[in-house]
Amino acid sequence: MRLLLTNDDGIHAEGLQSLRQVLSASPMMEVFTVAPDRERSASGHAITMHRPLLVDEIKTNGRRERAWAVGGTPADCTKLAVEAILEERPDVVISGINRGPNLGTDVFYSGTVSAAIEGAMYGLPALAVSLTAFEGLDYTFAAHFVRHLLGYLPQLSLKPRILLNVNIPAVEPSQINGVRFTRLGVRQYRNVFDRRLDPRGRVYYWLAGELLDPDNDPDSDVIAIKNNFISITPIHLDLTSHQTLYDLQQVEIDLGEIVDRSGILHRTQ
């Protein structure tokens, strides 16, 4: 199995290195790493268009590591790996292991999830993996779980343009209650921006915010993690609300005669 690893915490992040070490130990897995050269958390699905992308191959004592640090975003890394760096396409794209959760509506901001989305856009099976805490983390169990999960990919039968968002409780392995397949929940914040003054009296804002605990469906990823279950959420790249689309298609908008601000007249034939 040919694996592409990436993340948004940077190529030297402990979560990525732990995952790489565990996966590389298997003779059945060929591991390549293409990740940002520094932390790019909450970068979403941004790509770099107006400056060149610098790429440095990582070597240890002159030995090539099949790893590259990219001066760009997580989405850049996946795109660049598939299009330019790797000689063959990977079988699976894995983004992570992220430091901190990627639950519910937070996935829209996540560089970790976006790197996996980029893989799914190429039609590749893709996983975004996160450990749900920020301090005192041990990535060992999470890395071994990812290796274990890869064995289930044939059974999961992922359709094109679908990725799996995996969140693993940051508790002792003995405290994990199992695995749940979930839907995206809701994450809300209060007092998101902290207004401050710099030494010259100029106003600036610091993104902060207190996480609220809104009601979530029992089958959501938020509730699964709250109850110490590993959460696996399938995410489809088609964001269309198909029921709403059907309802809208029942409405006929008659242009009639419309004069826009330039005075151009449109007449329905």
pLDDT tens-digit series, residues 177-228? 999 999 999 888 777 888 899 999 999 998 877 788 777 899 999 999 999 9
pLDDT at 96: 94
Cβ atoms of 97 and 23 closer than 8 Å = no
- Please report the domains of the chain, with CATH numbers, ordered by start residue: 2-185+216-240 (3.40.1210.10)
- ∠ Cα 214 216 220 (to 5°): 140
For position 261, what pLDDT does the model report?
60
**How far is 197 from 178, CA to CA, in rounded Å?**
48
- Side-chain-facing half-sphere of 266: CA atoms under 13 Å: 9
| pLDDT value of position 150 | 97
**Tokens linked to 64:** 């090539």
Alpha helices in the chain (DSSP H): 14-24, 74-80, 111-121, 140-150, 153-156, 221-226, 242-248
For residue 239, what are its two tokens?
């964001």
What is the pLDDT, as a whole number, of residue 256? 65
> Which residue's structure tokens are 């003054």?
197
Say how far apart CA 232 and CA 237 lie, in whole Å. 16
pLDDT < 70 regions, the chain:
61, 256-257, 259-269
